[in-house]
Amino acid sequence: MKAAVIVFPGSNCDRDCKVAIERSTGAHVDMVWHGDTALPDKVDLIVLPGGFSYGDYLRCGAMAALSPVMAAVKAAAERGVATVGICNGFQVLCEAQMLPGALLRNAQLKYVCKSVELDVTNAKTRFTAGYAGRRQVVMTVGNGEGNFFADDTTLERLEGEGQVVFRYLDNPNGSARGIAGIVNEAGNVLGLMPHPDRAFEAELGSADGAILFQSALASA
């Protein structure tokens, strides 16, 4: 199995993702620079990591969404390749219009960094199948703009189509309906603010994030 982690100027969780995927799944992981125009051959999983791409200039993820590599990421996603955007990566996916909605400043206007309990709202996606009926998992958030927003029509569609994958049990950001992670209509693009890459071994406080990576690659 093969995964690719996209590296933007200002990414700071790219190596965290590489280590988490390697240790969780044994997959080979390539680091792909944002200025590249192609992905490795036969990639099974693409990860857009957390951090502060381009220093969060303009809007979080706005400039990264226009990076040369994103054309290849979009093309791969359209072919059905599993694609995950974590934290800043979620913001990039929304700015690139690969996922609906937007991530706004946290409701309390403060950076939030802590472990959070999540409800696995849809355990039938290719990213959550490995949770095998578990409804509560623990990951970590670290963001200042993790407040998911969408208009009511979009929220109703996300809920009705089973596209809400994770929901906060104690909403730390003020996200609409407590949404922590969503998938696209095809079910192969996931964006989430909590970090599975910071929760892949028990020594980190939780190994629940490992299951997300394992599920994504098992589906390939």
Tens-digit pLDDT profile for residues 23-61: 999 999 999 999 999 999 999 999 999 999 999 988 999
Which one-letter amino acid corresponds to residue 74? K
Residue of 13, 17, 60, 195 marked catalytic: 195
| Sole residue written with tokens 């969404």 | 65
Average pLDDT, the chain: 97
What pLDDT was estimated at residue 124? 95
Query: Is 90 exceeded by the pLDDT of residue 133?
Result: no
Query: Is 90 exceeded by the pLDDT of residue 219?
Result: no
- The Cα-based distances of 17 to 32, 57, 107 in angstroms read 12, 23, 27
What pLDDT was estimated at residue 209? 98
- In angstroms, the CA 57 to CA 72 distance is 23
Quick one: average pLDDT of 16-25?
98
Residue of 17, 87, 94, 113 marked catalytic: 87
What pLDDT was estimated at residue 111? 96
In 26-94, beta strands by DSSP E: 28-33, 45-48, 82-86
| Sole residue written with tokens 């240790």 | 23
Query: Is 90 exceeded by the pLDDT of residue 220?
Result: no
- In angstroms, the CA 163 to CA 140 distance is 21
CATH architecture of 2-218: 3-Layer(aba) Sandwich (3.40)
Query: Is 90 exceeded by the pLDDT of residue 139?
Result: yes
Query: Is 90 exceeded by the pLDDT of residue 113?
Result: yes
How many H helices and E strands in the chain?
5, 11
Q: Which structure tokens are listed for 51?
A: 């951090």
Q: What is the DSSP string of 81-140?
A: -EEEEETHHHHHHHHTTSSSSEEE--TTSS-EEEEEEEEES-TTSTTTGGGTT--EEEEE
- For the question of residue 87 being annotated catalytic, the response is yes
| Sole residue written with tokens 């104690």 | 170
Q: Where residue 3 falls among pLDDT bands split at 50, 70, 90?
A: very high
Q: What is the pLDDT of residues 83-112, one digit of tens each?
A: 999 999 999 999 999 999 999 999 999 999
Cα 92 to chain centroid distance, Å, stands at 10
- For the question of residue 13 being annotated catalytic, the response is no
